[in-house]
Amino acid sequence: MSKLPKRDGAWRVAVIPGDHVGKEVIPEALHVLDAVAPLCNIPARTECFPWGSEHYLSTGSVMPQDGLDRLRDYDAVLLGAIGDAARVPDAVMSWGLVQRVRKGFDLWVNLRPARLRPGMISPVRNAQSFDVVIVRENTEGEYSGAGGRIHQGFPHEAAVQTSIFTRSSVERVVRYAFDLAKSRPRKRLTSVTKSNAMNHAMVLWDEVVSEISRDYPDIRVDTAHIDAMVMYLITRPHHFDVILASNLFGDIVSDQAAAIQGSIGLAAGANLCPSGTVPGMFEPIHGSAPDIAGRGIANPLAAILAVSLMLQDFGEAAAADAIERAVDEVLVDGNVRTPDLGGNSSTRELGGEVVAAIGGRST
């Protein structure tokens, strides 16, 4: 196993359903976690935290001031979705929980796999062999949070948002991406850049990629400017394997990759500190989707696949593989699909179908 549980001889999972569809998809993910429990070497115990927009509106904070301390004893955080823009500004919600956890625990890798699963038809041509993993730097870059506003309320109000790229942070995520590429059959890495316009930060990024690539002579390396990358991902999705990107660029490419695989409702992400000293955070990347919340039609597969990523991080390979196979089986069968996948099934029906494919019983 990659690590051992922090306490009590069980994997301890802090569950934050969050807002809107997060509260609908997380219960299905937990049913799946229960279904694969017999395949786990160590049992998993969950505890729910009601943090999000309601917590903010009642207390003035998205999560409590001691929230990080409370989460630190867990082995993982399973997050549904955060966001309620009609009542709370998005920046307040994101920086009040997601960015706070990422930076507070130094979860410097954001790992987002995307592939065209069996039974799915991509809206993009030549995507039959689409299978990528996006490695996104997760704690600084364009989302460092450095900057400020002055002269608020006056016509000459100004805002400054500063990107910060430190050599040490770039080096560690670049090396992680190369190690990942080395473990995959194609052994290919594409670095996303914009050094023709960002003549300081992205030049440093390119230099570090070039330096570290010398330690990996068996990895085929290429680079692409972000504006070209979003074109190439559409026109030749089969070309890519491991995609390495900064915080902003990785965010952009991840959503595009989700669309290529058929729906953002299939896209899960892992926020990791590879040392394993703090809990990782695992989540569907689709957001809180208030436009469909309460209708029972949100796709739970991304949340379910986030559980698979969490189990992979625990070293519970058999349980993680069982989830992956069950999701593929349900998609191939095609009888139970939510509207984003071209069907008319409910969140609960699709989640139950995955549980049934695993061999468990939906509750």
| pLDDT average, residue stretch 104-113 | 98
* Domain C-terminal end among 227, 260, 293: 260
The answer to the question of residue 317 being in a domain is yes
Residues 145 and 237 in one domain: yes
pLDDT of res. 6:
84
pLDDT exceeds cutoff 60 at 1: no
User: Taken in order 131, 353, 49, 15, is the CA torsion positive or negative?
Assistant: negative
The answer to the question of residue 309 being in a domain is yes
pTM of the model: 0.95
Residues 97 and 131 in one domain: no
Lookup result for tokens 């989460």: 71
**109 SS3 class:** strand
DSSP 10: B
Domain count, the chain: 2
Distance separating alpha carbons of residues 310 and 344, to the nearest angstrom: 29
Residues 19 and 131 in one domain: no
pLDDT exceeds cutoff 60 at 66: yes
| CA 155 to the chain's CA centroid | 39
Residues 236 and 125 in one domain: yes
Residues 32 and 158 in one domain: no
Residues 286 and 230 in one domain: no
The answer to the question of residue 188 being in a domain is yes
pLDDT of res. 232:
97
| pLDDT average, residue stretch 352-362 | 82
| pLDDT average, residue stretch 56-64 | 97
Nearest-5° Cα angle at 30, 26 to 33: 140
The answer to the question of residue 289 being in a domain is yes
Residues 11 and 136 in one domain: no
Segment 116-157, tens digit of pLDDT = 999 999 999 999 999 999 999 999 999 999 999 999 999 999
The answer to the question of residue 267 being in a domain is no
pLDDT exceeds cutoff 80 at 360: no
Distance separating alpha carbons of residues 22 and 18, to the nearest angstrom: 6
Q: What CATH number is attached to the domain comprising 94?
A: 3.40.718.10
Residues 167 and 232 in one domain: yes
Q: If you average pLDDT over every residue of the chain, what do you get?
A: 96
pLDDT of res. 302:
98
Residues 224 and 182 in one domain: yes
pLDDT exceeds cutoff 50 at 11: yes
Segment 251-305, tens digit of pLDDT = 999 999 999 999 999 999 999 999 989 999 999 999 999 999 999 999 999 999 9
The answer to the question of residue 265 being in a domain is no
Residues 254 and 279 in one domain: no
* Domain C-terminal end among 192, 226, 260: 260
The answer to the question of residue 266 being in a domain is no
Segment 224-253, tens digit of pLDDT = 999 999 999 999 999 999 999 999 999 999
Segment 188-210, tens digit of pLDDT = 999 999 999 999 999 999 999 99
The answer to the question of residue 297 being in a domain is yes
pLDDT of res. 363:
39
pLDDT exceeds cutoff 60 at 45: yes
* Domain C-terminal end among 260, 287, 317: 260
Segment 75-85, tens digit of pLDDT = 999 999 999 99
Phi/psi for 325 (5° steps) reads: -65, -40
| pLDDT average, residue stretch 44-56 | 97
Residues 97 and 144 in one domain: no
Where in the chain does DSSP place strands (E)?
A: 11-18, 44-48, 76-81, 109-115, 131-137, 141-150, 158-164, 188-193, 220-225, 242-245, 268-272, 280-284
pLDDT exceeds cutoff 50 at 328: yes
Q: Could you list the residue range(s) of the whole structural domain that residue 143 is in?
A: 121-260
pLDDT exceeds cutoff 50 at 348: yes
Distance separating alpha carbons of residues 87 and 181, to the nearest angstrom: 42
pLDDT exceeds cutoff 90 at 343: yes
Residues 127 and 96 in one domain: no
Count the neighbouring beta carbons within 10 Å of the beta carbon of residue 182.
13
Cβ neighbors of 275 (< 8 A, separation 6 or more) are none
Share of the chain above pLDDT 70, in %: 98
Q: Is residue 339 within 8 Å of 290, Cβ to Cβ?
A: no
pLDDT exceeds cutoff 50 at 361: no
**3 SS3 class:** coil
Annotated catalytic residues are 143, 194, 227, 251, 255
